[in-house]
Amino acid sequence: MTTGASTASSVRVQGSRPISFQVRVPPPADGSTRARLGRLLTHHGPVDTPVFMPVGTNATVKALDPDDLREVGASMILSNTYHLYLRPGHERIERLGGLHRFMAWDRPILTDSGGYQVVSLGEMRSVDETGVTFRSHLDGSLHGFTPEHSIAVQEALGADVAVCFDQPVPPHASSRVAVAEATARTHRWAARCLAVHRRPDQALFGIIQGGLEPDLRAESTRILAGMPFDGLCIGGLAGDETAAQRRAAIDVVVPLLERDPRPRYLMGLGSPPDLLDAVDAGVDMFDSVLPARIARNGTLWVPEGRLNLRNARFLDDPAPVQEGCRCRACRSFSRAYLAHLIRADELLFYRLATCHNLTFLLDFMARIRSAIADGSFPELVRRQADRRASKIAPEGAPE
RNA sequence: GGGUAGGUUGAGCAGGUGGUGAGCUCCGCUGACUGUAGAUCAGCCGUCUUUCGACUGUGGGGGUUCGAUUCCCUCCCUGCCCA
């Protein structure tokens, strides 16, 4: 198998990129923020950035159907290579017309590569230069995943954007040597992904690693930026790092990409303050399971913070979760009703709760975009910082 | 009326045939969750105490005994069977 970026770039036909990205409102020259407004053009329509992509691991954003997804304002979603490969199988999805058709979602999709499962599956995998050996979480069977394999699966799924198979470094157990090795391997794997990726209607993003080591982050950024990817991911920051550590890592990456025309995608982060901070740092794309997962577990975001609908105090509360919220939960139902549903283990709870949190977050993102457009974004960041400092409830930004 | 099986901390149970019953599952309360092994997980869940710990508690009453949830008597309540 041939490797190397040069081989790969010759495969990628110049001129007709599978996606295009244009920055419509660049960061202000005064350096007050790196926030920028952009538009990603794909075969399945445009995506305004900064964008948050809800996560639909098993070809579904849990509890929602495509109508719900459009209603909450999702313009692009993420799905997962590893899970769909195991079940129902990427070949089956391909036979059935590809992922978009399979899940009846006609807007853009990005597939994660399965690299993150190196972290999430913990002991159930082993890694070497060839790739990763996973133990299936479904039946314990063994599966080898290589960069080439990941790309093949992603091409079969047919998402608009595929992502390189990388090796994130598990958060705490990260000696500098371990970070350096995983990062270097991620670079070699990136080249292998490029070498085999040929689907012309699918973009491919590379993943920057480097942990929290500034020089390794910088080196990783330079190497990845030197390869003909359609976009660049910032990986390995959705673990137990502090907000300050994340910001520091992003602030190493983005300045090195200042004149790079490609979108920047921070993988795995999705709380409102995380988004605000990362947009300020110059990030264009996000994904996270957080809003949907905490919703299913009873926690809903409101401007004042979080509500845990399991709490007894909501059983008699006739107010909507959030006054004035446009989501289907708030339009029709009381906190008392939702508190009842969750106690009764009623399935409707998951749908309503997920609709609310995604609406909250996507509306927050829309507000960020309009603030960038009208120049008020730095003020938004400042207000948020003030609120945190004074420990008053954050405006649009619960933890 | 006769027989029989029972009555344990909100519910359902376990255990205990004379040597200190606070154990489980629900329910309930609180918290966590960030490229989804997650509609999951963790802590608490008799009273007092931050903790250590102390106290109370095996349907009611009585008896035997150094000591009773256990043995005896009696009453109450519940299920089932027979009349």
DSSP secondary structure string, A242-272? -HHHHHHHHHHHHHHTTT--S-EEETT--SH
Beta bridge partners of A288: A54
Residue A388 banded pLDDT, cuts 50, 70, 90: confident
- Residues of chain A above pLDDT 90, percent: 85
Better-scored residue on pLDDT, A243 or A388: A243
Given this model, what pLDDT does residue A399 score? 65
Tell me which residue has tokens 């008020």: A376
Helix (H, G, I), strand (E, B) or coil at A143: strand
Answer whether residue A356 shows pLDDT above 60. yes
Nearest nucleotide (C1') to the CA of residue A122? B37
Report ipTM (2 d.p.): 0.90
Better-scored residue on pLDDT, A106 or A10: A106
With distances taken from each CA to the C1' atom of nucleotide B31, the closest residue turns out to be A308
Answer whether residue A394 shows pLDDT above 60. no
- Residues of chain A above pLDDT 70, percent: 92
Residue A274 appears among annotated catalytic residues:
no
For the ranges A178-182, A229-233, A237-241, the maximum mean pLDDT occurs at A229-233
Q: Write out pLDDT tens, residues A7-55.
A: 333 344 445 689 999 999 999 999 999 999 999 999 999 999 999 999 9
Average pLDDT of the residues in A152-165: 98
Q: CA A210 → C1' B68, Å?
A: 71
Q: CA A339 → C1' B77, Å?
A: 38
Exposure of A29 by Cβ count < 10 A (0-12 exposed, 13-18 middle, 19+ buried)? Answer: exposed
Average pLDDT of the residues in A241-264: 96
Pairing of strands A231-234, A203-208: parallel
> Per the confidence metrics, is the pTM higher than 0.90?
yes
Nearest nucleotide (C1') to the CA of residue A270? B34
Q: CA A296 → C1' B39, Å?
A: 6
Average pLDDT of the residues in A185-200: 97
Residue A112 appears among annotated catalytic residues:
yes
Tokens of A279: 């947009």
Which residues contact residue A362 at a Cβ distance below 8 angstroms, ignoring those fewer than 6 apart?
A52, A72, A73, A74
Q: CA A77 → C1' B67, Å?
A: 72
Helix (H, G, I), strand (E, B) or coil at A371: helix
With distances taken from each CA to the C1' atom of nucleotide B37, the closest residue turns out to be A137
Q: Could you tell me if A182 and A168 are in contact, meaning their C-beta atoms sit under 8 angstroms apart? A: yes
Q: Which one from A68, A112, A280, A284 is the annotated catalytic residue?
A: A112
Q: What is the average pLDDT value for chain A, to the nearest integer?
A: 92
Average pLDDT of the residues in A250-277: 97
Nearest nucleotide (C1') to the CA of residue A294? B33
CA distance A269 to A258: 22
Bases in strand B with any atom closer than 7 Å to a protein CB: 27-41
